[in-house]
Structure 1
Amino acid sequence: MQAHQLAIVLLIVGNFLATLSDVAVKLIDGDISPFQYMFLRQLVSLLLITPLWWVQSPEQRRLTQPAVTITRAHLILIGSGCMMVSITYLPLATANAVFYAAPLLMLPLSIWLLKERPSAAKVLATSLGFVGVLIVLRPSQFHWAALFALGTATTLALFNILVRKLPASQSVVTTLWWTSLFSIPVSALLALFHWQPMSAQLFLFVAISAVCILGYNGLAVAAYRRAPAGQIALSEYSGLLFVAIIGLVGFNELPDGFTWLGISLIVLPLLPVRKWLHIRQRKHRPPSSS
């Protein structure tokens, strides 16, 4: 198996794990508070990552850019809380379609925070994606939980932008460990004041969510290290197919035509179409005569 083929497989498996995390949250069905979910998920994540962090050298374990890491830790808390609310009250496909608006939101945020100057084509493509979001969240079908889905997308976009301020030499394990650690104090305090009795089954769902999200993060990193993003990016959207199938089979949620149209408009601007066309032209270009 070639490197890019393996990367595609890793990314598809990773997106399936992310879908299982969403299903676990859906099965919690709001029986515990979002604050309780946030704390327990981050605690489980920290416990799982700690052995991997500890076996690194002291230099690799060291924290760099504490302000950025603390900010990203609390973005995780806000995003995971919003995600739980949106998945609880919205169909899986609808909520995930809005989550995929995160890359679109990165464009205006990068202009604001990183002073980047995107091309006119990129601005146009992003605008098309936002039209897709409006179609998915059309007024006739609007639900207040959609605002929480937008909150998840916004925090995810900020989370991804801030990663650019971390040194490339810092390992993924170290980044995840410090981010999880810094998210514990605030989430623990909030959970303490909103704690609800929970069964072992509910805790199992939270643990499954934490394990699956960690699995997705690890597989995504492994995939993007094996192949250029342009060759495998389409695999990211396998997650939308997974949530649509599981939503239909497990929760009797059938996305309508407008939802699929909106999803298409969200995904289309994120695909590296120009790069694919350039590669295709190079492959079909006749050899020059000597």
Structure 2
Amino acid sequence: MSGRTVTSAIFVLVLGSFFATLCDTFIKMAGSDVAIFQLTFLRAVFMCLFLLPIIAVRYRRYARNDFSLGLKLHFIRGNMWVLAAVLLVLSLAELSLATANAVFYTAPIFIMLLGAFFYKERLTIDVILAAVFGFIGILVILRPTEVSAGMISAILFAVVLATNSLLIKKLPQQQDMLYGLLVTQVFALPVAAGLAFWEGAAFQFEVVLFAALSSICSILYSLSCLIGYRYVASSQVTSAEYSGLIFAFLIGWWVFGETPDMGLFIGSLFVILPLLYLSHRDIRRLKKQQLMSNTRSNLGAG
């Protein structure tokens, strides 16, 4: 699929959401007693190993000055990736796949709130209500009678994911996304290696397998985003990524024997529906702007 049409872009993003859920599945399959830092380090290693051949094939397309652009941001994002990877393992070790993913989908809410704080983006009443409903959804999903490490990790993961996503806006536009992803992972290696050494866990072959599989899925998800958002306005297709929650429900039930309760479904609706409304609102605004532009062009031509 080329991603040049809305339909093909949506298909690519749904496929990407499936790979993202598979990534979480492989991490959860590693078990709750997995060596967290060892898994994180191996994931970074495999990301680099899998990306290197792709970058080598595309090498001639890059301008020489592109290689040194945005290194500070890649360094920050690389170390934030390590933090996010650790939080992801901690949350999946305690929460069900569907519950963790439902909380992860609050990341767009944090993106909007952090965007208003760091980029002075305007907060409308719709965005504020979406944030309020989203946090109500978190409470309904988690129903926290007591605060646990898994709950905190899932929410913090969404915050770190949102922050890392906002930093993408600062990256050089002319730089290839996959090359940027490789540099980010390279910068993640020293911290991840240091933490794995400090952890001192015995080497586990199973960790290698799950790290490799989850890394492949992460790269495929990144590729789907690259294709899905390249030619089509993000507001027209971003809702397709919420299909990942359906995959989380199904895989959680099939692989881990998890049975989602009504609270999870209701809480997910509180999180997803306001975001779908905002996406639909943006689509209507874009169509209105395009209609006005076409009308002015026709008047000018007349």
TM-score scaled to structure 1, two decimals? Answer: 0.90
Query: Per the alignment, do residues 184 and 264 of structure 1 end up closer, same or farther by CA in structure 2, a change over 3 Å counting?
Result: same
Pair 1:46 & 2:51 matched: no
Deviation at 1:51, TM superposition (A): 2.1
Is 2:137–2:271's contact at 8 Å kept on the other side of the alignment? yes
* Amino acid paired to 1:87: L
| Structure 1 Cα separation of the partners of residues 220 and 65 of structure 2 | 21
- Map 1:1-290; keep pairs closer than 5 Å: 3-54=5-56, 55-56=58-59, 57-59=62-64, 61-140=66-145, 143-271=148-276, 272-276=279-283
| Structure 2 Cα separation of the partners of residues 108 and 37 of structure 1 | 31
Matched residue of 1:129: which SS?
helix
User: Paired residue for 1:287?
Assistant: none
Structure 1 gaps of 5+ residues are: 283-290
What is the aligned-residue identity percentage? 32
What is the CA deviation profile of residues 191-224 of structure 1, one whole-angstrom value per residue up to 9, with x for unaligned ones? 1121423443331111000110111011111011
Is 1:102–1:156's contact at 8 Å kept on the other side of the alignment? yes
| Structure 1 Cα separation of the partners of residues 147 and 171 of structure 2 | 38
Deviation at 1:126, TM superposition (A): 1.9
Is 2:22–2:217's contact at 8 Å kept on the other side of the alignment? yes
Q: CA RMSD in A?
A: 2.1
TM-score scaled to structure 2, two decimals? Answer: 0.87
Query: Per the alignment, do residues 45 and 259 of structure 1 end up closer, same or farther by CA in structure 2, a change over 3 Å counting?
Result: same
Is 1:40–1:206's contact at 8 Å kept on the other side of the alignment? yes
Query: Per the alignment, do residues 278 and 163 of structure 1 end up closer, same or farther by CA in structure 2, a change over 3 Å counting?
Result: closer
Matched residue of 2:145: which SS?
helix
| Structure 1 Cα separation of the partners of residues 68 and 170 of structure 2 | 13
| Structure 1 Cα separation of the partners of residues 155 and 8 of structure 2 | 32
* Amino acid paired to 2:19: L
Deviation at 1:277, TM superposition (A): 5.4
What is the CA deviation profile of residues 31-64 of structure 1, one whole-angstrom value per residue up to 9, with x for unaligned ones? 4321111110001001111122234235265121
Figure out how many residues of one structure are paired with residues of the other and give that number: 282
Task: State which drifts further: 216-225 or 119-128.
Answer: 119-128
Deviation at 1:279, TM superposition (A): 8.1
Query: Per the alignment, do residues 80 and 9 of structure 1 end up closer, same or farther by CA in structure 2, a change over 3 Å counting?
Result: same
| Structure 2 Cα separation of the partners of residues 40 and 124 of structure 1 | 40
Deviation at 1:280, TM superposition (A): 9.1
Deviation at 1:159, TM superposition (A): 0.2
| Structure 1 Cα separation of the partners of residues 95 and 134 of structure 2 | 20
Query: Per the alignment, do residues 258 and 165 of structure 1 end up closer, same or farther by CA in structure 2, a change over 3 Å counting?
Result: same
